[in-house]
């Protein structure tokens, strides 16, 4: 089992990209996450069998072909830290991956920061 981090460049935010990745990922034996990056790219981090990860990237590339300009990827040993696949939401300008519960429950969390 390997770990792969992919960076998708292009018009990949605000077009349903992360939701497409998650729906595709659920068809394969991969665990990890997908999230938007502040620089406009989307990061996909996954662990699983090599063929499943290859097919996931290929499927996403086909479905989102008109939005992707470039895909860079890095391979590392798997850590086993993921139990499922999820979309991570990054709070604006904070670099944190999850909002504290008090902020997440607030009607307008950005004004509460």
Region 59-84: what's the mean pLDDT?
Answer: 96
The residue annotated as part of the active site, out of 3, 4, 11, 18, is: 18
CATH class of 2-112: alpha beta
Average of per-residue pLDDT across 51-79: 97
| HEC per residue, the chain | CEEEEEEEEECCCCCCHHHHHHHHHCCCCCEEEEEECCCCCEEEEEEECHHHHHHHHHHHHHHCCCCEEEEEEEEEECCCCCCCEEEECCCCCCCCCCCCHHHHHCCCHHHHC
Q: Is 23 assigned a catalytic role?
A: no
Supply the pTM of this predicted model: 0.79
Q: What integer pLDDT is reported at residue 90 of this predicted model?
A: 75
**Domain coordinates of the chain in residue numbers?**
2-112
Tens-place pLDDT, residues 89-111: 976 544 455 555 555 555 555 56
Q: Which of 23, 36, 41, 98 is catalytic?
A: 36
pLDDT tens digits, one per residue of 8-44: 999 999 999 999 999 999 999 999 999 999 999 999 9
């Amino acid at each position: 089992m390997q770990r792969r981090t992919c960076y998708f460049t292009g018009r990949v935010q605000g077009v349903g990209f992360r939701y497409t990745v998650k729906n595709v990922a659920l068809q394969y034996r991969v665990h990890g996450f997908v999230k938007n990056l502040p620089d406009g790219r989307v990061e996909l981090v996954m662990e699983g069998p090599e063929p499943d990860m290859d097919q996931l990237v290929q499927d996403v590339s086909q479905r989102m072909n008109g939005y992707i300009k470039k895909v860079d990827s890095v391979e590392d040993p798997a850590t086993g830290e993921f139990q499922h696949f999820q979309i991570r939401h990054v709070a604006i300008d904070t670099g944190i991956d999850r909002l504290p519960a008090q902020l997440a429950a607030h009607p307008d969390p950005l004004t509460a920061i």
